[in-house]
Structure 1
Amino acid sequence: MSSASSRALHVALAGCLGLLSTVALAQETFHHVPSAAASVANPYQGQADAISAGGKFYAANCASCHGGVGQGAGNIPALRQGPAQQATEGALFWFITKGDVKDGMPSWAALPEKERWQIVAYLKTLPTVKAPAAGASVVTGSSITTPPPTPPFTDFRYEAPGKSRKITVADLPAPYATGSAGNAPQMVSRPEGALPKAPPGFKVNLYAEGLDTPRVIRTAPNGDIFLAESGSGQIRVYRGMTADGKPAQTAVFAAHLDQPYGIAFYPVGPNPQWIYIGDTNAVLRFPYRNGDLQARGAAEHIADLPGGGHWTRDIAFSLDSKTMFVAVGSASNVDDPDTTSAEKGRANILAFNPDGSNRRRYAWGIRNPSGIAIDPKNGQLWTTVNERDGLGDNLVPDYITSVREDGFYGWPWWYMGGHQDPRHQGKHPELKDKVLTPDVLLQPHNASLQITFYEASHFPADYQGDLFAAEHGSWNKATRVGYEVIRIPRHHTGKASGEYEDFLTGFVLPNGQVWGRPVSLTTAPDGSLLVTDDGSNSVWRVDYVGQ
């Protein structure tokens, strides 16, 4: 096997303490797994008792990162489909045992060998598992006692609706000023009566629940709400709203998709003819007319995309409907595309003609542009980005920025202007002066996933034209941060000055346990804001009711 093909996806089963680097190339083994190890048979393969035990070990050690049914979350790859299911059980066992410290995957050799094999046996059943193997109970009476953070950096204890923050390049510490933490969230059920916290004058209610990994949410031109349920591979549609702020009607628009994420209507305007879907390895489109609750035809394949790794594929169209933008994140934390074939053509925002032709690179060096959106006022493309991990608590900031055509944003060699990543010391000096500094620096490691422009008139007037963003929450910070929705004020200028405000908080309990993780946002026809939450598998509605 060549060195290029032997570089495979980094998949962890047991308590992922860091971002895992993945490569979606069928039939490849895990990272440097020797062929002899990959060929070892699992002595517990297919045994019911072993699978049951493995499920318990998975719940205790793996589910907080990879999800209760292996659905993945944010930067963490899914295990219930894709390369994890293609790998041999021997390869999985070897990788669990050895780990990959560079990308944050620890060695789990301390687990008894039998338990590791049982976890592997359980992993192979994940495609058929319908509910988490176990759930953590809520712990009461405890709290986080680490020292307060040094502003402008923060953590969940100090997030509060309406609080304004601004991080500048001058605030950034040196690499490794602190250690690189492994602090994956412990997910718990939402405590009875718990609701997200919003600024004064806003009211929050539960819009929908019982979903399977709700991710991107979009409003159709006719007011219907489309939702990608990435876990179940389907697109759901909601219509109307009851007096208590819930959908009046729901239907499944399309099913049997592969981790659907991005949703876009084409052409732009009041009468779309297609709905485009960003599957993890392709762009698809369905014929559509306003009011369709089910796809009126089969999916048409528009373009191939690299799969695995950062699997989220967002889509947006230019205002003139001539250009389709597609976000493709990296396959790793910080692998060098010069030497890692799996990174070729990734960490980019791509541009296509709407029929999938004329593929080109629009902007590059963007580690994971998980969310993209077009400013409806002027057509400017914006993105929100998960930056790299492993350099300490306060490096490297995630960010939200307008995107410059052919702009270079640094990954993996540089960051935030001319700061070189020490893991690539001396590489590509010619790029140093080309690195663009983003418009808004966010808290490092908070996993900013999606953005939307607020153009309705229901919120107070100073919200008009502002950006909202969903912060999924950290794993690589000693005291967790994120797990909130933020607002980017633009003061009716169309530009961002660098500050942001906490808007929707309260998804983390005082003891650090997590019950909710915001993913995506859209404006409902009545001007309220809908927020998907794949921690509680819900959608929240934020309405303005006045002071």
Structure 2
Amino acid sequence: MRKEIIAIIIVVLAIAAGILILIFLNDFNGSRQNSPSLSPSPSPGLNLGENLTGLPLKIADGFSISIFAQNLKDARDMAFDSMGNLWVSRPDEGVITLIEIENGRAARQNDVLRNLNKPHGLAFDPDTPNLLYFAEENKISKIPLYSDAPPQKLVDLPSGGRHITRSLIFGADKRLYVSIGSSCDVCVESDKRRGTIYSMNPDGSDFKEFASGLRNSVFMALNPETEEIWATEMGRDFLGDNLPPDEINIIKSGKNYGWPYCYGQRIVDSRFENTGEQICPATEKARLEIPAHSAPLGLAFSPLNSNWPKEYRNSLFVAYHGSWNRNEPADYKIARFSLNGGEQTDFISGWLGSDGKVYGRPADILIADKGDAYISDDYSGKIYQVRFINQTERTTNSVFFEKQS
């Protein structure tokens, strides 16, 4: 009899313990489902994604950001070659660096081209993908990759002055385009090549002006749907915190974009009131206006063939390098513009801390065909990788990040 009573007590205790375990697990899972780091956002632009960098960054829901490569002081322009390796210009170091990629990871990095004069723009010839074109402050050259051949100079460029970066892009017409910044903040240039975009054949012939009135269009990108060249444009300084707006322009043959006489929507610069009233009505208006002194640099369009959410289609992503002369520094981030409606949202932010501490300054953004994005940071010497992740990956990575933070 005593043994039977003991057996009954054991069974009752086991059942009670099982019930308590089920209650605990239910509460635990419920608390995790209510965790902000796992809650999906109903719309893009909300900063609920996964940050695996160790920096106080915020990224839109459904995306992750991690450090892809580092120890790359002054990393700026980026370009992938036909072997899937990444090339990075580093103007202040005078080098162009090769990052060899294996299994999706940066395996090795090597300064292949050295002793250059402020190298910046990089581009690959679509018809000869093993040829790297690169722009130094004073010239454009090309070189066959993975060979002992020396660079071949194609054209000379004006040098000196305030803006020394030269950017490159191949257009849909297979011509090579180069942006040449102004020599000053605001002035009438004596060298008509300054403040322009020129184009040429891949062999350097037929070098001619394509568009003018562009103070400093540091980066350009090709719209994959329209095949138009879009360019960022940094407005002049010393008109206060809120003027003039920085710009995104669609670059068209023979068009004048207003600098130095006007900006934005053909607003006449106060320094050139008389001349501006005559010139500005015939200039091109900005396609998009950006808050003054945001310093827009790299730009990239959303990939056409990727697993990104449909609401991100027909979007433009712009790297805001951030202000240097505003009373309150602003805009060290990646912004997203919906080209359907024009609204702007933050895609990645946090490089400028709430206490004013600078953690980085995004420079270029490059989005590969399958959707992985890469962002260079010339302040911290890093390259970040951004990926769209599905729900399973999001849950796994969020648990990892919670353990790291």
Q: Does 1:538 align with 2:375?
A: no
Q: Which residue of 324, 333, 347 maps to 2:195?
A: 347
Cα displacement (A) at 1:490: 2.6
Corresponding residue of 2:277: 429
Deviations 1:217-239 (A, max 9, x none): 11223322111122222211223
Corresponding residue of 1:490: 339
Q: Does 1:220 align with 2:81?
A: yes
Preserved CA contact (<8 Å) 1:195 1:205: no
Preserved CA contact (<8 Å) 2:163 2:216: yes
User: SS of the counterpart of 1:240?
Assistant: strand
Preserved CA contact (<8 Å) 2:297 2:321: yes
Unaligned runs of 5+ in 2: 1-43, 48-52, 392-405
Corresponding residue of 2:250: 402
Q: Which residue of 86, 89, 94 maps to 1:233?
A: 94
Aligned partners of 1:402, 1:203: CA distance in 2, in Å? 30
Unaligned runs of 5+ in 1: 1-160, 165-191, 492-496
Structure 2 counterpart of 1:238, one-letter code? I
Aligned partners of 1:461, 1:240: CA distance in 2, in Å? 29
Superposed CA RMSD in Å reads 2.1
Corresponding residue of 1:464: 313
Preserved CA contact (<8 Å) 1:219 1:522: no
Cα displacement (A) at 1:526: 5.3
Deviations 1:189-231 (A, max 9, x none): xxx9324221112111111111121000112233221111222
Structure 2 counterpart of 1:396, one-letter code? P
Cα displacement (A) at 1:352: 1.4
Deviates more, 1:275-284 or 1:215-224: 215-224
Structure 1 counterpart of 2:307, one-letter code? H
Preserved CA contact (<8 Å) 1:417 1:433: no
Deviates more, 1:537-546 or 1:421-430: 421-430
Deviates more, 1:250-259 or 1:381-390: 250-259
Q: Which residue of 325, 335, 355 maps to 2:177?
A: 325
Corresponding residue of 1:522: 366
Aligned partners of 2:109, 2:264: CA distance in 1, in Å? 44
Indicate the structure (1 or 2) with the bigger Cα radius of gyration: 2
Preserved CA contact (<8 Å) 1:262 1:314: yes
Cα displacement (A) at 1:335: 1.5
Aligned partners of 2:236, 2:213: CA distance in 1, in Å? 11
Alignment of 1:141-540 (within 5 A): 162=45, 193-241=54-102, 246-266=105-125, 268=126, 271-288=128-145, 292=146, 295-308=147-160, 309-321=162-174, 323-337=175-189, 341=190, 343-455=191-303, 456-491=305-340, 497-524=341-368, 527-540=371-384
Cα displacement (A) at 1:301: 0.5
Query: If the length of structure 2 is used for normalisation, what is the TM-score?
Result: 0.79
Cα displacement (A) at 1:381: 1.1
Aligned partners of 2:379, 2:102: CA distance in 1, in Å? 24
Preserved CA contact (<8 Å) 2:76 2:363: yes
Cα displacement (A) at 1:531: 0.3
**Is the alpha carbon distance of 1:440 and 1:499 closer, same or farther for their aligned partners in structure 2, counting shifts above 3 Å?**
farther
Alignment of 1:106-121 (within 5 A): none
Which structure's relative contact order is higher, taking Cα pairs within 8 Å and 6+ residues apart? 1
Cα displacement (A) at 1:473: 0.5
Structure 2 counterpart of 1:258, one-letter code? N
Structure 2 counterpart of 1:263, one-letter code? L
Deviations 1:167-205 (A, max 9, x none): xxxxxxxxxxxxxxxxxxxxxxxxx93242211121111
Aligned partners of 1:418, 1:376: CA distance in 2, in Å? 28
Cα displacement (A) at 1:461: 3.0
Aligned partners of 2:374, 2:352: CA distance in 1, in Å? 19
Structure 1 counterpart of 2:272, one-letter code? H
Aligned partners of 1:542, 1:273: CA distance in 2, in Å? 26
Preserved CA contact (<8 Å) 2:321 2:362: yes
Preserved CA contact (<8 Å) 1:278 1:284: yes
User: SS of the counterpart of 1:214?
Assistant: coil
Query: If the length of structure 1 is used for normalisation, what is the TM-score?
Result: 0.59
**Is the alpha carbon distance of 1:262 and 1:388 closer, same or farther for their aligned partners in structure 2, counting shifts above 3 Å?**
same
